[in-house]
Amino acid sequence: MIVKTTEPQLSAAADSPGPAGPPVAPGLSPVWIAQRLIRFNTVNPPGDEAECVQWIRGVLDRAGIETRILASDPRRPNLVARLPGRGLEPPLLLHAHVDVVPVEGQEWTRPPFGGEIVDGELWGRGAVDMKGHLAMMMAALLRMRARGDVPPGDVILAVVPDEETGSTVGARFLVERHPELFAGVRYAIGEDGGAELGLGPYARLHPIVVAEKRTCWVRVTLRGPGGHASRVASGSGVVNKLRRLLESLADGGLGVQHTPVVDRMLKELANALPPGVGERVDAFRVAPEDPSVLDGLDESTVRYLRSIVQHTVSVTVLQGGTGTNVHPTEITVELDGRVLPGGFTTEEFLGLLRERVGPEPELELFVEGELSPPPRLDAFYDRLVKVLKAKDPDGVPLPIVTTASTDARLFSSRLGIQCFGWMPLLHAPETVYRDRLHCPDERIAVSALEFGTDCFHMLLSGAG
Ligand SMILES: [Zn+2]
């Protein structure tokens, strides 16, 4: 096992902020940038992203890339950088968050903020989500500057705090208070994508997120008669109501819905897989009501596929009861609801939920995610595909729907920007990328960071 840390290659001065100067050295690699980013502890809460963002500003300033800092909380600034283009295309937005999720309670083999390189992998919190991704974007911009490449349209890089806990001082602040910074932007690239979907042994997939599910969190309140628990509970007792509620939601979803974007995804996926597996995915596409056709595939892949053909509802937080010897009179249950893309309204979702749980339980929608316009897979999507095909001719780009929600929801719902989750990665087939998100021992292959930077550089230079 080799443990080493790379040193700044040509620009040691990049560690301290300074005035704008000549273009930065071309050797400023994504790995070196990602290492530095990981070493800033930006665990959210509390975030404290300022030092990290100021470091990024120093690097970009020295390369002669114009930056602005915008903040509602000075400890948690946003940075917006702009690389001017030739005016042939609308501006393109790249957005990335620098906050990361906590590491407490997790057993890490390596220090989570060490940024160590071990056996060709860069370790640390944020390596995947999403400091590694941001490093690809920054390295591509720096390469453009260093080579004198001028993009066809302006490239805007928005570096934001607070994605992991609601985006209030991050992307939401930017789109609500400074929408003028994004005037004319039609397309954006942000996080997610790049996951191998657990199908690595069958095909080298390059998932491109074209739509996200929408968060709709619901609190269910159940009430019933109390009484001494030394006697059996009443049939109308609140625990019996809880049992019936859990049974009604046991399969995790609210029934299959056909959406064009999922249909296209499953069609392309079926075509990319070897015949036996591909046929089963196609059978699932035609009749998702029967997921047993997927038996034998990786369990998390099956759960993912089942989650993109229906609105899902997961029971997460249960609260109630005051004493072991007292039948409770009230129990609340929180549901993590995720609504499919394609314009489904909150009312439709709540209507289906009501059908499931019956007329009695009180339902309160306490978090409602933004409703984004339906996805468009137009010429820009084709460019993303073309770049991936050029850089990995044997790989298969694939449009996917993610079950998560990212800052893309704010840029798309508030500003009408078509957002893509595009993290170009080239993995060994056995890499379990998705299982590293928010988990201990998060890490990314150095070669994957370099591949991603090459892809971003090709896209930004207009060669795609
Ligand atoms: Zn993220």
| 149-192 tens-digit pLDDT | 999 999 999 999 999 999 999 999 999 999 999 999 999 999 98
**How far does the centroid of ligand 1 lie from the alpha carbon of residue 353, in Å?**
29
Q: How many other CB atoms are found less than 10 A from the CB of residue 413? A: 17
- pLDDT tens sequence across 329-356: 999 999 999 999 998 999 999 999 999 9
**Is the C-alpha dihedral spanning 127, 454, 193, 200 positive or negative?**
negative
- pLDDT tens sequence across 52-76: 999 999 999 999 999 999 999 999 9
**How far does the centroid of ligand 1 lie from the alpha carbon of residue 288, in Å?**
29
**How far does the centroid of ligand 1 lie from the alpha carbon of residue 436, in Å?**
12
Identity at 216, one-letter amino acid code = C
**How far does the centroid of ligand 1 lie from the alpha carbon of residue 75, in Å?**
20
Rounded Cα–Cα distance for residues 361 and 51 (Å): 48
**How far does the centroid of ligand 1 lie from the alpha carbon of residue 369, in Å?**
16
pLDDT recorded at residue 155: 98
pLDDT recorded at residue 23: 41
Residues measured by CB to lie within 5 Å of ligand 1, the ion: 129-130, 191
**How far does the centroid of ligand 1 lie from the alpha carbon of residue 226, in Å?**
44
- pLDDT tens sequence across 114-128: 999 999 999 999 999
- Dihedral angle computed from the Cα positions of residues 329, 330, 331 and 337, in that order, rounded to the nearest 10 degrees: 150
220 near 246, Cβ under 8 Å? no
**How far does the centroid of ligand 1 lie from the alpha carbon of residue 342, in Å?**
23
**How far does the centroid of ligand 1 lie from the alpha carbon of residue 421, in Å?**
10
Rounded Cα–Cα distance for residues 25 and 34 (Å): 17
What percentage of the chain carries pLDDT values higher than 90?
A: 86
Q: What is the DSSP letter of 237?
A: S
pLDDT recorded at residue 193: 74
Structure tokens at 179: 């929408």
Residue 263 scores a pLDDT above 80 = yes
- pLDDT tens sequence across 209-235: 999 999 999 999 999 999 999 999 999
pLDDT band at 435 (very low <50, low <70, confident <90, very high): low
Q: Where are the beta strands (DSSP E) in 17-170?
A: 66-70, 78-83, 92-97, 117-118, 121-123, 155-160
Q: What integer is the mean pLDDT of 377-392? A: 97
**How far does the centroid of ligand 1 lie from the alpha carbon of residue 11, in Å?**
28
* Maximum distance among all Cα pairs of the chain, rounded to whole angstroms: 81
- Domains defined for the chain, CATH in brackets: 3-192+406-460 (3.40.630.10), 211-368 (3.30.70.360)
Residue 16 scores a pLDDT above 80 = no
What percentage of the chain carries pLDDT values higher than 70?
A: 92
Q: Which of 16-20, 60-64, 198-202 has the lowest mean pLDDT?
A: 16-20
**How far does the centroid of ligand 1 lie from the alpha carbon of residue 163, in Å?**
7
pLDDT band at 200 (very low <50, low <70, confident <90, very high): confident
- pLDDT tens sequence across 297-325: 989 899 999 999 999 999 999 999 999 99
**How far does the centroid of ligand 1 lie from the alpha carbon of residue 420, in Å?**
13
pLDDT band at 433 (very low <50, low <70, confident <90, very high): low
Compute the mean pLDDT over every residue in the chain, rounded to the nearest whole number. Answer: 92
**How far does the centroid of ligand 1 lie from the alpha carbon of residue 451, in Å?**
20
- pLDDT tens sequence across 91-100: 999 999 999 9
**How far does the centroid of ligand 1 lie from the alpha carbon of residue 162, in Å?**
10
Which one has a higher pLDDT value, 119 or 433? 119
Give the burial class of 184: count Cβ atoms within 10 A of its Cβ; 0-12 exposed, 13-18 middle, 19 or more buried.
Answer: exposed
DSSP H/E element including 210: strand 205-212
Phi/psi of residue 38, nearest 5 degrees:
-65, -35
pLDDT recorded at residue 464: 62
Q: Based on C-alpha coordinates, what's the Rg of the chain?
A: 24
Which one has a higher pLDDT value, 69 or 204? 69
